A = this chain, B = another copy of it.
Amino acid sequence: MNELFLLLIEIVGTVAFAISGIRLAAAKSFDWFGAYVVGLVTAIGGGTVRDLLLNTTPFWMVNGWYLAVTGLSLVTVLLLKKYLVKLDQTFFIFDTVGLALFVVIGIQKTLFFGYPMWVAIFMGTTTGALGGVLRDILINVEPLIFRKDVYGTACIAGGVIYWAIALVSDSVILQQSMCALTVILMRILAVRYNWSIPILRNYAE
């Protein structure tokens, strides 16, 4: 029941990530194949790099539904594209909940392999945020999360909270839920109050 709930969130997050990639591919007039690839890289790119760094089999190679769900995301965009624009709020929630879960999964998996917490925070952030960077490289634009938003920083903050809770409590459930909550809250507050990370001003040339 608990596992089913987590699987459901993971599917929702994967769909949200894939659709974000497919929509940006559409804005670049990519064809269906290109859109599928961009959607897939957005959805599984972060976790794939994490698994390569951890020297373990990429998660989507042992379970076919990641590729299938990305295909369904493409079909959804094709069929419902007119209505999707009105659902931006909904997608933001899906994307944010998915992000939070991806961070938790990345941290958990890294700790499972025996790495210290700072590697786990790095991997949680990679799992959550790198897919979007790879997506932006594929569509040939400067990575969005390097210029606006607190996307990556929210992942790091979630990881630090995971760490802090782990210092005072052994409850993995507590660690994970506080981590996820931090990511979600920070994203929502950032959008609500227009937070952003300071820009590094150009000082040369």
Q: Tell me the A residues contacting B by CB distance below 8 Å.
A: 22-23, 25-35, 37-38, 48, 52-53, 55, 57-58, 61, 64, 67, 77-78, 81-82, 84-85, 115-116, 118-119, 122, 133, 137-143, 145-148, 150, 152-153, 196-205
Contact = CB atoms under 8 A, between A and B. Distances in A.
Contacts of A137: 137-138, 140
Contacts of A25: 146, 200
Given A33-B145, A61-B53, A140-B142, A201 B115 contact: no
A189 to B, nearest CB: 16
Nearest to A28: B142
B152 A122 contact: no
A138 B137 CA distance: 7
27 contacts: A23-B204, A25-B146, A26-B200, A26-B201, A29-B199, A30-B200, A31-B146, A31-B147, A31-B148, A31-B196, A31-B198, A31-B200, A33-B150, A33-B153, A33-B197, A34-B146, A35-B200, A37-B146, A38-B146, A52-B53, A61-B115, A67-B118, A81-B201, A84-B204, A85-B203, A85-B204, A137-B140
A29 B146 CA distance: 9
Contact of A200 (B77, B115, B143): B77
Given A58-B53, A200-B26, A202-B29, A143 B147 contact: no
A149 B145 CA distance: 31
A67 B147 contact: no
A29 B200 contact: yes
A199 B22 CA distance: 12
